[in-house]
Copies of this chain bind each other. A is one copy, B any other.
């Protein structure tokens, strides 16, 4: 255990009376399932905060080969998490692929409260419904699709439509790396490495600001920039052709393919920056109004982790107050993101 963790333990033991909401310092015990970029960011944010204690990291790898270098958090096999029933307030699901998230989510919701950043929009409705059934049956509270999209962008799309029902909302992503599209390129024969940037088109953003973007197609809204490291002797023209004609992923877009060396790739394309906009233009009582929410993120996993931890704390608070089932950002009042006196929160923010 690191010195930092000891300091936290000693300092907060003075104030630490769990499950008494009138005390500002309530330690929320969390588990982190999955220890990639997102899990590591969650661990660090939690370890440096006043309100979380990380009870363990739960990995599918051999736990003896995984170390928490900065905070000395104990590492366990994922299967061992069941032993922590009753000791962990919220499990943060930080595994990689979408199906890992849903499988683990549905399994954990029988014993734990969870937050996850499941991000397959097309399957969200089904996943929420299934998670709600499991969580309700097992007296649990599970937050689904927490992050920035889905997550904050979802909240904005709903809020904007709610307060300005007569209008059109557009979401733009980027400039930033799409993991799914990068992975699709890396699976092509002859490709050693690849990054794909999603880039919103200026003209589409302009039209969205005027409420005139509803009829735009995918090609009009975003373009796709691919940076590819080819293996020695690979047929670059064949790779380019396979990328730009790939159905769903690239064919519906203006796609550029740039071949770069491994050195240039490492130097210029290791960014995890991302961002985007949600815009709504509409009318109320005959006059026009524009709402816009934008994000510029230096690191996608760091910000996603920050959102996830904020909602993990809200989960613990709302569970205490009796909320059960599967919920999305749309169900969580923003006041639940804070501890302390409600009057102070009103004074500070309203």
Contacts and interface: CB of A to CB of B under 8 A. Distances in A.
Interface string A289-309: 111111111110011011100
B343 A330 contact: no
A145 interface: yes
A178 B305 CA distance: 39
Given A163-B310, A346-B124, A302 B287 contact: yes
Contact of A158 (B164, B297, B335): B335
Nearest to A288: B298
A310 B162 contact: yes
A125 interface: yes
A346 B331 CA distance: 10
A290 B302 CA distance: 13
A188 interface: no
A338 interface: yes
A347 to B, nearest CB: 4
A150 interface: yes
Query: Number of copies of this chain in the oligomer?
Result: 2
A135 interface: no
Contacts of A49: 165
Contact of A284 (B45, B163, B288): B45
A293 to B, nearest CB: 5
A333 interface: yes
A163 B307 contact: yes
A154 to B, nearest CB: 4
A244 B178 CA distance: 53
Contact of A338 (B158, B290, B294, B344): B158
Given A285-B41, A303-B164, A159 B298 contact: no
A159 B159 CA distance: 13
A337 B158 contact: yes
Contacts of A330: 333-335, 345-346, 349-350
Interface in A296-342: 296-299, 302-303, 305-307, 310, 328-335, 337-338
B305 A284 contact: yes
Given A335-B331, A349-B158, A163 B306 contact: yes
Nearest to A272: B287
Interface in A242-290: 284-290
Given A162-B338, A306-B163, A349 B157 contact: yes
A125 B344 CA distance: 8
Contacts of A286: 302
A135 B163 CA distance: 25
Given A294-B292, A347-B125, A350-B145, A334 B162 contact: yes
23 contacts: A41-B284, A44-B285, A121-B350, A128-B346, A128-B350, A152-B163, A158-B335, A158-B338, A158-B345, A158-B349, A158-B350, A162-B310, A163-B307, A165-B306, A285-B305, A286-B302, A287-B303, A289-B296, A289-B297, A292-B294, A292-B295, A328-B350, A330-B345
